[in-house]
Structure 1
């Protein structure tokens, strides 16, 4: 018997309609994936049935796509130790990163089948205290919990609200393009969470630079319909997101966003053992054939993924 949660009737309808989920085939699908993983002796670290189900849902129950995504999941985590290692939530340096609250999932949606909302406040990224890789590290910690625990996000996807208020050129200079491509692989190609839309708030004067960065990572078919720039006014954002799903800093009624930052500080501490176990995941074939950097440089990983010398463009599903 598969050790997974039942989902609500509303999510069941979405999963069966949009993700090709068939409850009668779930156990056999999980057995196929688990057998495939066991046959790859270089893959280190086990994943629970619940997480494997998240990958199946993220791949719309295509077994081959699930295998590819899982292989990439292990490989890129191996090649990016600066974002998946040294992330003990009880360590003071990691706690300081978490408390910055750069990326914060929000708890509410209008409908139980809407994509979950994730606010990214780039200005919280303190250049004197951390690097962009440090911010991504906290993001992987949060995502590791979400792919295990948040059924709505796994089934219905995620919407990003990216607030660029007070962003400076120094922030943008941290976004080294090659590393951004690797992060795109980490968060999309190697993740079961499906991106549904990106909303950009408070764009800086050099907004064209920011859009060029996003457009370089987004598939052509999605550039016009999935990335929305809202300017410095919240009016257009409120046409899509009512007050009941937004924190008070964005004209909402959920209360201050710090409430949710504090909630995630507690949640990450509570899941310390799980997060440490997830740092053990790796593909030993890459460890044995590659020199994994131990400094803050960003390794070039594309040659390990059969991507013809470059990363695929970020697909928004």
Structure 2
């Protein structure tokens, strides 16, 4: 990393003038153990799962939208497909907990269960199921790594998943639900009141141990959140950068960090979403987002938009002339 910093200072520009792009180049050097000079093969991993807490009326959309959107991903028609194509990335959709039977040649099936339990009435899943979902995320990364992918992004789909994410954030950080609960799919003020009550009830009913991230995940989380924890840990274990998308992906990142603190060095925060708890969550992680486009879609869309910035950081190191090679006078 230090060698890359010094090399960046020899390029034909004022020191540090490319800002976050230079920081990215330095981080990529640390991850790879070498000066970054190769464009990395990219994959967006979209984990999909349903949530029993939808029974409490906390979403503007019905649960059947989850399998419908999975079909949309597989047919290439969702926002993440469009943005990934623009970035030269491939999208892989994983059924890790959808409450439907989906058959498609491109689907990666790793179903742990048909949706989680209703966290307002009991735990989302067992500890064994949480570990299984994490391991599935690791296995998906392993498989894609074997196909030459070296840069991963976290995507998700699961109607109702901002509610468990807000509950997890409240427990893991102590931030009150008034700050962690957002509008998700676009609920009204009454829906917000109901959602906050559900989060408080879920925490009271399940009494998760805030010092045990796996306990918090299994009592309040989702199969897709657990799968993304595995994606993040698997990427770090393989020495690959992993781009964190929005609120749900970031709660997976916080969980991964609590389980394995060294994993943070491999994370790149893509954007600051409009979801209420996202900025304080990133602050607790110590990550600074690259973009702020007022997005709140999920799917990995914010992460896909950062792929070209990562490519730019690599190409600056690879192709930009030095003062000496260009015959430019230094300051």
TM-score if structure 2 supplies the norm length? Answer: 0.27
TM-score if structure 1 supplies the norm length? Answer: 0.28
- Rg larger for: 2
